[in-house]
Chain A
Amino acid sequence: AQTVTQSQPEMSVQEAETVTLSCTYDTSESDYYLFWYKQPPSRQMILVIRQEAYKQQNATENRFSVNFQKAAKSFSLKISDSQLGDAAMYFCAYRSYYSGGGADGLTFGKGTHLIIQP
């Protein structure tokens, strides 16, 4: 079974600064997908960024980028120019490669609470 570990229960950053959230995972699979989700107090999980394991290039989405190190099984999220609206819980998640059947469920880490200081 796969496991996802987020070692930072809470992180704090000044507005407009850059912050990096850490995630490591354990798997014996070679093909898989990794995700970062944001969960504000409204509870809805919002997809921030996605990375396919077979792609060497790190994914980017505007101010959000990842550092994917497949050999180290590390998948960190960098948020540049932090904004007050970025404050939320952030979850790292893993999913096995879609093999033609149904899409498997996600395995989540315990989350990191991100605080943005004005």
Chain B
Amino acid sequence: EAGVVQSPRYKIIEKKQPVAFWCNPISGHNTLYWYRQNLGQGPELLIRYENEEAVDDSQLPKDRFSAERLKGVDSTLKIQPAELGDSAVYLCASSRTGGVSANYGYTFGSGTRLTVV
């Protein structure tokens, strides 16, 4: 099966510009996560979706970050306007919801490396 697909792989933008990241999870995975990984750090959860519903967005900086998951499949994470401190790798992951498989580790994509200059 195809893995979690993310695009673009790299993005360089000027500060104050908008940027968007796209994620296509594994087919059948109802739960989708966006993580941010700063340089030299572990990933930190930004938002979790169960189908179309954002069930945990407590760590999402809502003044400039937004996310959507229309139809409960693909998801888009947006930053507007971007700041220098937003430079990081943005990782998407997905997992099944319910049953034993929900206790397995998640499947991650290869991430988008964002550089804000």
Contacts and interface: CB of A to CB of B under 8 A. Distances in A.
A43 B10 CA distance: 12
Interface string B73-101: 00000000000000001010101011000
A108 interface: yes
B35 to A, nearest CB: 8
B12 interface: no
Interface residues on B, range: 20 to 34
Which secondary structure dominates where chain A touches chain B?
loop
Nearest to B3: A44
A111 B89 CA distance: 15
Contacts of A103: 31, 95, 97, 102-103, 106
Nearest to B41: A110
B103 A33 contact: yes
A111 B45 contact: no
B77 to A, nearest CB: 14
Nearest to B53: A102
Interface in A27-52: 33, 35, 37, 42-47, 50, 52
Interface in A1-16: 4
Interface string B48-66: 1010000110000000000
A98 B91 contact: no
Contacts of A97: 103
Contacts of A105: 33, 35, 45, 48, 56
Interface of B: 3, 31, 33, 35, 40-45, 48, 50, 55-56, 89, 91, 93, 95, 97-98, 102-106, 108-111, 113
20 contacts: A37-B105, A43-B111, A44-B3, A44-B108, A44-B109, A45-B91, A45-B93, A47-B104, A47-B105, A52-B103, A91-B43, A100-B98, A102-B48, A105-B45, A106-B43, A106-B106, A108-B44, A110-B41, A110-B42, A111-B42
